[in-house]
Structure 1
């Protein structure tokens, strides 16, 4: 199973456990997540983003200060913007925060339902899945020289046929290198792979 397929399977499990959605920031570095995934009500996500609530969210504060899992109702931190009261209007009545990884590359997730508190077993399962996703989505420290050169050529606007000719390989071999780079960077398109590789200074 490919890394992307494993990631998709883990995210599907999170969706099953979180009837009202989730937000998962994998590997937060320098105030930016390697991957940000959200399935909350889009209207709430829009409000949350427009108002910059991440910088004031008590769940996020808890996640940076702790590792483990906790019910939202047990987080005893200030909420000056009344974020949780607003979230309740979109069905986020009960929730769990999960945090793992070093502070230099922290993963934080919030998981919600509208009918009852999460059980201890459900919380343990959420924590297990998040830790697994954190481990499997660790940003690469480097690409192979072949992957890097393939991405560089495409990034400069070369067509696949031209790039393959410059490298002295078949077009199918070039596509295989690009596919491997996408898998390594946990993205679906070559354009996303180029952008992410540039962000991590891998090109």
Structure 2
């Protein structure tokens, strides 16, 4: 490992926000020729779904003209490399897409995804599917090579630097899991978060009201608004979801 790589990993592990870590990582991957990244993580995977997209951790530096269609219009549901990531762990060259096409191993919907990507100059790269410790959790990142770069060039680069790139992305993924991430419209106020924290500690409504110096009715209001913000039905679900998103017991910096 080079001194520059060590410095990068130290910066990565010391980062205090997802915004900081993502900007640092995007610059590092661009230095290897991967100028567009798409990271996704869900804790709500089932046998038939990745869960509600509003609950995904999604990070990207693709243009909105790409993400509005690929994510917003649900094209990712039929993306061949998403299918690969769900079925495998580790790194995979996008060379397999050409092999799938030659073997006629793509559905019509998957072919449309490939055609869309070609139109957006998403033509060469690698995908990394991270190891999961839960059947409901899955994370992966797509590394898109800069326009004009051929897959042969990407594969040659990977032969030389692939292990380092996988290591850096694995550490990125593990670090992201420790940082607060708030999906759109799911942020909690300080009072809502505090009330959920006390519920998580097993306190009763009366206990929480006494601790926070508020009435029980006000505590119940904070919890109701927290449930609405997190789009869940019960306070127990709100506690679990806020914990998953690292919105609870956060140190304000």
- C-alpha separation in 1, matches of 2:41 and 2:89: 14
The aligned counterpart of 1:111 is 143
Assess if the C-alpha contact under 8 Å between 1:23 and 1:110 holds in 2. Answer: yes
- C-alpha separation in 1, matches of 2:91 and 2:166: 7
- Aligned pairs (5 A) from 1:1-203: 1-4=14-17, 5-30=20-45, 31-32=50-51, 34-75=56-97, 76=100, 77-81=105-109, 82=111, 83-102=113-132, 103-113=135-145, 114=147, 115-117=149-151, 118=154, 119-120=157-158, 121-138=160-177, 150-152=190-192, 195=230, 198=238, 200-202=241-243
Structure with the largest fraction of strand: 1
Larger Rg: 2
Secondary structure, in 3 states, of the residue corresponding to 1:97? strand
Instruction: Give the gaps of 5 or more residues in structure 1.
Output: 141-147, 156-165, 169-190
Secondary structure, in 3 states, of the residue corresponding to 1:29? coil
* Distance change in 2, residues 1:153/1:92 (3 Å): closer
Instruction: Give the gaps of 5 or more residues in structure 2.
Output: 1-13, 180-187, 196-210, 214-225, 232-236, 249-253
Assess if the C-alpha contact under 8 Å between 2:34 and 2:125 holds in 1. Answer: no
What's the RMSD between the two structures over aligned residues?
3.5
* Distance change in 2, residues 1:15/1:85 (3 Å): same
Residues paired across the two proteins, number: 163
How does the TM-score come out when normalised to structure 1? 0.63
